[in-house]
Structure 1
Amino acid sequence: MTPIPLAEELLLLAYDDQTGKATGSRIGLDLGMAAAILIDLALANRVAYAADGYLKVVDATPLGDVVADAVLAKVAADEPHTPAQWLQRLRHRLRTRILEDLCDRGVVRDVDETQLGVIHVHRYPTSDPAYEAEIRQRLAAALVGNTLPDERTAALATLLVAARMEPALKLPPEDADRAHERLEEIASNAGFVGDVSLEDSIVRPSVALVVATLGRAIQAALGTPKPL
């Protein structure tokens, strides 16, 4: 199966297959999807984190993805911004755009319901479960295996932690703590968090820098989690 963008992977994990409603933090998902697009551009060697603290375009060649190419063009044309600033500039209406693309491709469907006679509520139940099944299989292998995952899966795991989307994994309570430890272990060995040097990272240093700075920006934007 052809891989889909990281932002779409996050969204599919966040939306319940049957009810078509988003679970978890709305702002966390929106920030995570904005970060995911920038990470996909970094994975494709299009953007990089510069020494001056800004994200910059290193190759403006389009990828062939409408949403990612629009972001790439925006980063190239706009004045320099930090990762945190780009997250805020990109997150607005991003969810709607990605949902529209998924609907057009038949991955989810748009169910338009009217409440109280005037309020329109949209749900997006799954039409083609194959994509989400592949995502969950990949994450499951990363969480239970003894080997470190590929760059994209490591980045996805890190985004799940940063955006507080671990409940989207739908793990039983007895497995949740171990999964959290494994997610953090993946992020650490990828050089995204912790003390692992970029030279020892399981991913390219250029990618690790982008993911690390975006992950910290998401966590800063969400603030300190409330105690249970």
Structure 2
Amino acid sequence: MTSMPLAEELLLLAYDDQTGKATGSRIGLDLGLSAAVLVDLALAGRIAYVDGYLKVIDPSPIGDTIADAVLAKAAGDEPHTPAQWLQRLRHRLRARLLEDLVARGVVQDVDETQMGVIHVHRYPTTDPAFEAEIRGRLADALTSGALCDERTAALATLLVSCRMEPALRLPPEDVAKAHDRLEQIASGAGFMAGGNLEDSIVRPSVALVVATLGKAIQAALGAPKTA
């Protein structure tokens, strides 16, 4: 199956297949979607983290409408920090991604009216094959000790940075273990403090982008609430 943009993968994980409603933190998901677009550009060798900023190193389009629009804007603008890019991108990004998924028949747009005037949109799954492939990769990553590929490791890092473990739909007793494994994956890929790139297949340039975006997401969300 052709790989989807990371932002679409994150979005499919966040939305319940049946109810079509997003789970977890709204702002966490929106920040994660912004980061995912930037990570895809880093994976494609188009942007890099240089002197505290995300900078364009190759303005050539990668073939994704949203990512290419971001790349063109970044190429013609002054450099911004990872935190600045997260905030600049997150507005209406989720709606644009959902529109694309609806247009391709991956999810459907169910428009319901509440109280006669309020429109509420749900996005239940139409084609489950895409999400099944994503969850299969994550399941392999969570249950094996093997190194992940760059994309899966980056997705795992975004999940833990955005505190989206509930999207994995695990039994309550397995959530803490999954969180620890996600952090192990992120650290082993060099995306978190203590990571060792010598044992990772992730390119250092990609690791820097993902790591700085992960830190920016965590800073924006603040300290996690304690029970």
- TM-score by structure 1 length? 0.98
Answer whether contact 2:188 2:197 (CA < 8 A) is retained: no
Q: Distance in 2 between matches of 1:188 and 1:156?
A: 13
* Distance in 1, Cα, partners of 2:79 & 2:148: 32
For 2:130 and 2:52, the matched residues in 1 are separated by 35
Conserved in 1, the CA contact under 8 Å of 2:11 and 2:33? yes
Summarize deviations over 1:22-60 as a string: whole Å, max 9, x none: 00000000000000000000000000000x211000111
**Residue aligning to 1:217:** 216
The aligned amino acid for 1:96 is: A
Code of the residue aligned with 2:44 in structure 1: it is: A
The offset of 1:199, in angstroms, is 4.3
**Distance in 1 between residues matched to 2:128 and 2:195, nearest whole Å:** 36
The answer on whether the counterparts of 1:112 and 1:122 sit within 8 Å (CA) in structure 2 is yes
Partner amino acid, structure 2, of 1:61 = S
2:17 corresponds to which residue? 17
In structure 1, what is the Cα distance between the partners aligned to 2:125 and 2:74? 32
| Cα shift at 1:74 | 1.1
- C-alpha offsets along residues 119-162 of structure 1, whole Å, 9 cap, x if unaligned? 00000000000000000000000000120110000000000000
**CA–CA distance in structure 2, aligned partners of residues 149 and 199 of structure 1:** 14
Which residue does 2:71 correspond to in 1? 72
Which residue in 2 is equivalent to 1:28? 28
Answer yes or no: is 1:130 the counterpart of 2:126: no
The answer to whether the 8 Å contact 2:150/2:202 transfers is yes
- Cross-structure match for 2:156: 157
Alignment of 1:1-228 (within 5 A): 1-50=1-50, 52-228=51-227
Q: 1:194 Cα shift?
A: 2.0
Equivalent-residue separation in structure 2 for 1:105 and 1:196 (angstroms): 38
Deviation at 1:216, TM superposition (A): 0.1
How many Å separate the matches in 1 of 2:193 and 2:223?
18
How many residue pairs get matched?
227
Counterpart of 2:111 in 1: which secondary structure?
strand
Structure 1 runs of 4+ off > 3 angstroms? Answer: 197-202
Give the CA RMSD over aligned residues.
0.9
Matched to 1:27, the amino acid is I
Calculate percent identity across the aligned residue pairs. 78
Tell me the SS of whatever aligns to 2:112: strand
- The structural deviation recorded for 1:179 is 1.1
Which segments of 5 or more consecutive residues in structure 1 lack a partner in the other structure?
A: none
Shift of 1:198: 4.0
